[in-house]
């Protein structure tokens, strides 16, 4: 069956086609980079047609942002954390799992560089990926702020940076692994920063 007739297909089949396109976008980004990616190359890899892609996305930028955002959404807090340090460890582990994924390791630096060249792309990356992830961290720490485990005058933007920037730099800048010991040390550092003075 041709994927061109997607509108008349069952939801399950439409989902399979979408999954194939998302996978193709990610593979093209990882192998060729954003600059070389085309709607044609994605359609060919996905076994679809350009018409199928253009019915869903008006341009390559939209398609790329949707695909990358679909694998970059942060998991909601499990709610199992018994204290703020445990919540911080859970947050850091989620960031490390995302940034340490072999495909994301290759895709994200390229997209961030593209965002510096194109203001529109930079804003879109912030809206589709950066802000949702930062908002999830805020939500995960809301309870700790209400109960006084996080001091009220903590610099929120700095706190949010600390939960991702060191891990990103270690993985993408230094090409080093992030192990449990590193995450534990980082969690301790952040916990000392947010905890109220004795």
Return d(Cα 47, Cα 145) in angstroms, integer.
Answer: 49
Fold of 72-194: Tetracycline Repressor; domain 2 (1.10.357)
E strand intervals along the chain:
none
What is the reported pLDDT for 13? 33
Per-domain boundaries in the chain: 3-64, 72-194
Q: What is the DSSP string of the chain?
A: --GGGGGGS-HHHHHHHHHHHHHHHHHHHHHH-TTT--HHHHHHHHT--HHHHHHH-SSHHHHHHHHHHHTTPPPPP-S--SSHHHHHHHHHHHHHHHHHSHHHHHHHHHHHHHHHH-HHHHHHHIIIIIHHHHHHHHHHHHHHHHTTSS-TT--HHHHHHHTTHHHHIIIIIS-----HHHHHHHHHHHHHHHSPP-
Across 17-37, average pLDDT: 91
**pLDDT tens per residue, range 166-194:** 999 999 999 999 999 999 999 999 999 99
What is the reported pLDDT for 124? 95
Higher-scoring residue by pLDDT: 7, 140: 140
**35: pLDDT strictly greater than 70:** yes
> Picking from 27-36, 58-67, 71-80, 106-115, which range would have the lowest pLDDT averaged per residue?
71-80
**pLDDT tens per residue, range 78-116:** 655 568 999 999 999 999 999 999 999 999 999 999 999
Which residues are within 8 A (CB) of 195 and not within 5 positions of it... i.e. 6 or more apart? 84, 149, 150, 151
CATH number of 3-64: 1.10.10.60
Average confidence score pLDDT of the chain: 87
Hey, what are 88's tokens? 């911080």
What is the reported pLDDT for 37? 97
**pLDDT tens per residue, range 118-143:** 999 999 999 999 999 999 999 888 88
Query: Are 3-64 and 72-194 the same fold in CATH?
Result: no
């Amino acid at each position: 069956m041709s994927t061109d007739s997607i509108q008349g297909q069952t939801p399950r089949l439409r989902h399979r086609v979408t999954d194939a396109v998302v996978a193709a976008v990610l593979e093209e980004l990882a192998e060729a980079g954003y600059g070389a990616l085309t709607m044609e190359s994605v359609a060919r890899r996905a076994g679809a047609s350009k018409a199928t892609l253009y019915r869903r996305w008006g341009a390559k930028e939209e398609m790329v942002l949707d695909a990358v955002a679909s694998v970059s959404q942060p998991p909601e807090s499990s709610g199992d954390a018994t204290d703020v340090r445990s919540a911080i460890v859970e947050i850091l582990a989620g960031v490390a799992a995302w940034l340490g994924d072999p495909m994301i390791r290759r895709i994200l630096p390229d997209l961030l560089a593209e965002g510096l060249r194109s203001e529109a792309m930079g804003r879109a990356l912030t809206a589709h990926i950066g802000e949702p992830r930062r908002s999830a961290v805020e939500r995960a720490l809301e309870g700790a702020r209400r109960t006084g485990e996080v001091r009220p005058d903590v610099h929120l933007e700095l706190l949010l940076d600390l939960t991702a920037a060191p891990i990103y730099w270690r993985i993408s800048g230094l090409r080093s692994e992030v192990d449990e010991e590193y995450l534990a040390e980082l969690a301790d550092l952040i916990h000392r920063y947010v905890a109220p003075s004795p």
